[in-house]
Structure 1
Amino acid sequence: MEQLTDLKSILHSKRANIYYLEKCRVMQKDGRVLYLTEAKAENQYWNIPIANTTCLLLGTGTSITQAAMRMLAQAGVLVGFCGGGGTPLLMANEIEWLSPQREYRPTEYLQGWMRFWFEDHQRLVVAKRFQHSRADYLETLWAKDRDLKAEGFQSDAPVVQAALANCRAKNAAATTVSNLLQAEAEFSKQLYKHAAHCTGYGDFTRERDAVDTANAFLNHGNYLAYGLAATTLWVLGIPHGFAVMHGKTRRGALVFDVADLVKDAIILPWAFICAKENATEQEFRQQCLQAFTDHKALDFMFSQVKAAAIETSAETPQL
């Protein structure tokens, strides 16, 4: 029991690591979780600091032992199987998450979420809240991140201010989730255009199946954000199916709702910057993870979901 307590001593909102592994074997050895890579001359073992890890993505050519899964579950690490580069090989929009089966999480947030979720109007309130927070996070982050400002991603730029004002106005006036989705698509299109201009990328069209570098990096980075969102919801005990914006018929859609809080601010600009610099996939991934840490992305997700669950449910009339 002492070992279990030690493993979970770091709050999930404070953990620093997301791992994506491919062409290796994950195993338990001497009380640690390691991954083994096969070199020509010798095999090499690398340690995974599971107590400071939120999620583990297993890509192509990977395997994992039962003993390693047991330790990962004890540490509260989410494990997902995915395709190459962190994106699913066969499915376009979902990772199958393997959640640690320890049901000792608080029920406060699930109960709060359920109190409002069955009311269409209250779901819309939370969806609009998330969209406003998404815009605020981008504006704040782009105003203080020196690296992004040096690349032209400045929140006080006229085109960005115009996009933010238009987004906020349409969010406030939205009467349906469809209105919000339309405003979101328009906002993202404006940001893509601005990012392409800042980096000299040329004509850009967002296509998830496209093979150009920016689209590939956007796909990869988005799945890193999905990992953070899935971790947030698992820790708070809120099932992924209770979405507020992306549709009640899509399993796991709440992961997309929560990931959207940080995608525009972090993933979008770095995808274009790294594409311009001909960065490798690993370099792009490291940049995203560092930005998540620097700007407390996981903390932000936790605070937004917790506030939505508690404050919205408090406003919902009880019978």
Structure 2
Amino acid sequence: MDNFSPSDLKAILHSKRANIYYLEYCRVMQKDGRVLYLTEAKKENQYFNIPIANTTVLLLGNGTSITQAAIRMLAQAGVLVGFSGGGGTPLYMGNAIEWFTPQSEYRPTEYLQGWMSFWFDDNKRLDAAKQFQQARIEFLHHVWGKDRDLKLEGFTTNDSNIEAALQRFDERMVTATKPSDLLLTEAQLTKQLYKFAANVTNTSDFKRQHQSTDKANDFLNHGNYLAYGLAATTLWVLGIPHGFAVMHGKTRRGALVFDIADLIKDAIVLPWAFICAKENLTEQEFRTQILQAFTDHKALDFMFEQVKKVALQGHDETEGQSQ
């Protein structure tokens, strides 16, 4: 433990890290300079290592506990820790996951300063929201056009209904004059995407309900919270507080997390939630599939690129930035 410094543990950039963990019914601890989780087996307890230097997010579900020593090492490695309900989603009476972000006085300042240079101007904030929405659609085209498995399942933007929905979205986004207009346009598009996904996977009578118990809704909730973890990591690394949203409203403390997560939710989480529900996969199998898709399509890299682009527009990017 004494042989490690924080710089040693941050050798892998957050945008290149491969692992997100969801744990339940276990104890997370530090042992011999490593972070482990302990599970109780019938005959003996089992220890499993968490490679913290290559991990972005750790979600702790039902029946978990964590030691102070483990938290200290996770903070040194820059891993975000969140507490959640079962399956990576909040309890019915809970609110959004509370992200425990590692504390450091050496977070970058240029991105926050760039963000603040436009955030208090309503028109510029709306322009930033539109940029994110355009990037979201471009990513949808990219993923659905490139992913062979999604194509085989019928997910393509060449479908006439999807083309029409995206065209309407583009037209309404350009003419939107306030964030509520964008939110309404986004909701209409997402409704069309749900309908399309339900049709191609033969999911009957689907209705989006956050507290529903059917597999498609459960997997959508689960996948969305994994996307929130990536978004929270992006903002923490770049030093931008979660409250400075451009679309989801000033009254929600973590609203910028939702803004950034939206960049990848439709392209990756939505189709795989329906596909995995159709195939009757377990939560663990679904989570494995989603995390692999995040890696294959460089979702975290894409989030970093878009947030940096918006934060630094009109500013010269300095040399030697950390991310």
2:81 matched residue in structure 1: 79
Q: Distance in 2 between matches of 1:303 and 1:290?
A: 20
Q: 1:238 aligns with which of 231, 237, 240?
A: 240
- The AA in structure 2 aligned to 1:307 is K
Q: Percent identity?
A: 72
| Residue 116 (structure 1) aligned with residue 93 (structure 2) | no
Does structure 2 retain, via aligned residues, the 8 Å contact 1:122–1:312?
A: no
Q: Distance in 2 between matches of 1:68 and 1:133?
A: 37
SS at match of 1:238: coil
Q: Distance in 2 between matches of 1:201 and 1:192?
A: 10
Question: Equivalent residues in 2 for 1:265-276 (5 A)?
Answer: 265-276=267-278
Does structure 2 retain, via aligned residues, the 8 Å contact 1:126–1:312?
A: no
Instruction: Work out the number of aligned pairs and report it.
Output: 314
1:306 matched residue in structure 2: 308
2:18 matched residue in structure 1: 16
C-alpha deviation, 1:6, in angstroms? 1.6
Summarize deviations over 1:18-43 as a string: whole Å, max 9, x none: 00000000001111000000011000
Q: Distance in 1 between matches of 2:206 and 2:177?
A: 31
1:43 matched residue in structure 2: 45
C-alpha deviation, 1:4, in angstroms? 2.1
| Residue 176 (structure 1) aligned with residue 161 (structure 2) | no
Summarize deviations over 1:231-282 as a string: whole Å, max 9, x none: 0000000000000000000110000000000000000000000000000000
2:98 matched residue in structure 1: 96
Q: 1:188 aligns with which of 190, 193, 198?
A: 190
Q: Distance in 2 between matches of 1:122 and 1:313?
A: 14
2:155 matched residue in structure 1: 153
Q: Distance in 1 between matches of 2:284 and 2:93?
A: 22
TM-score norm. by structure 1 comes to 0.96
1:135 matched residue in structure 2: 137
The 1:94/1:127 distance shift into structure 2, 3 A limit, reads: same
SS at match of 1:46: strand
SS at match of 1:100: coil
Over aligned residue pairs, what C-alpha RMSD do you find?
1.2
1:144 matched residue in structure 2: 146
The 1:265/1:92 distance shift into structure 2, 3 A limit, reads: farther
Summarize deviations over 1:32-63 as a string: whole Å, max 9, x none: 00000001100000000000000100001000
The 1:15/1:95 distance shift into structure 2, 3 A limit, reads: same
Does structure 1 retain, via aligned residues, the 8 Å contact 2:92–2:211?
A: no
Q: Distance in 1 between matches of 2:11 and 2:175?
A: 44
- Stretches of structure 2 that go unaligned for 5 or more consecutive residues are 317-323
Q: Distance in 2 between matches of 1:303 and 1:186?
A: 27
Q: Distance in 2 between matches of 1:90 and 1:187?
A: 27
- The AA in structure 1 aligned to 2:152 is A
2:212 matched residue in structure 1: 210
Q: Distance in 2 between matches of 1:111 and 1:119?
A: 14
Summarize deviations over 1:178-220 as a string: whole Å, max 9, x none: 1101110000000000000000001211110111110111000
1:284 matched residue in structure 2: 286
Q: Distance in 2 between matches of 1:90 and 1:6?
A: 40
Does structure 2 retain, via aligned residues, the 8 Å contact 1:25–1:63?
A: yes
1:249 matched residue in structure 2: 251
- The AA in structure 2 aligned to 1:280 is T
Q: Distance in 2 between matches of 1:144 and 1:312?
A: 32
